[in-house]
């Protein structure tokens, strides 16, 4: 079981913990134009899934910008997804104001499909816990980081290294 705190207070994570070697669970989230997006929509690509509590906060914004910068050097076989429970309109506004276009921001606000499938719903706040998942072209999870304190940064270098190991 994963132990996570948010602002130093323990939180309860809902859903099943995902571990390296698992088949990536299916999910359905919303794009910025309110269209459903599933894991299958990026089938055959390496997926770096960056999960943030809210795109409008400092660490979450920085995390998304960091992976956006890295995405340019990872090539066309890699899809970078940022998932939060922010409304799609807020995500689109953030992306436009930050000039971030090579990361797909996706909303899990409707039914927490992603959050429950990946064990990252913070019950106390109805937000997603900061985490990183790397999924290979065959939908196998190859890297997982549940950030132990929700206001801390993930290990960017390890996540990018995990993606680079999968690039042929």
* Residues with catalytic roles: 60
Name which of 143, 141, 118, 132 is nearest 14 in CA terms. 118
Name which of 64, 46, 45, 66 is nearest 54 in CA terms. 64
Supply 91's token pair.
């995500």
How far from the centroid of its chain's Cα atoms is residue 97's Cα?
20
Q: What are phi and psi of 65, to 5 degrees?
A: -65, -40
Residues in the chain: 168
Contact indicator for 88, 104 with CB cutoff of 8 Å: no
């Amino acid at each position: 079981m994963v132990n996570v705190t948010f602002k130093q207070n323990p939180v309860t994570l809902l859903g099943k913990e995902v571990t390296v070697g698992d088949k990536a669970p299916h999910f359905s989230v919303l794009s910025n134009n309110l269209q459903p997006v599933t894991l299958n929509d990026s089938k055959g690509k390496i997926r770096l899934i960056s999960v943030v509590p809210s795109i409008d906060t400092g660490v979450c914004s920085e995390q998304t910008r960091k992976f956006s910068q890295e995405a340019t050097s990872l090539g066309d076989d890699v899809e970078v997804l940022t998932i939060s429970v922010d409304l799609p309109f807020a995500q689109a506004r953030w992306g436009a104001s930050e000039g971030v276009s090579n990361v797909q921001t996706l909303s899990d606000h409707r039914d927490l499909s992603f959050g429950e499938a990946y064990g990252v719903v913070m019950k106390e706040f109805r937000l997603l816990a900061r985490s990183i998942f790397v999924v290979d072209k065959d939908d196998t999870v190859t890297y997982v980081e549940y950030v132990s304190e929700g206001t801390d940064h993930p290990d960017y270098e390890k996540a990018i290294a995990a993606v680079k190991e999968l690039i042929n």
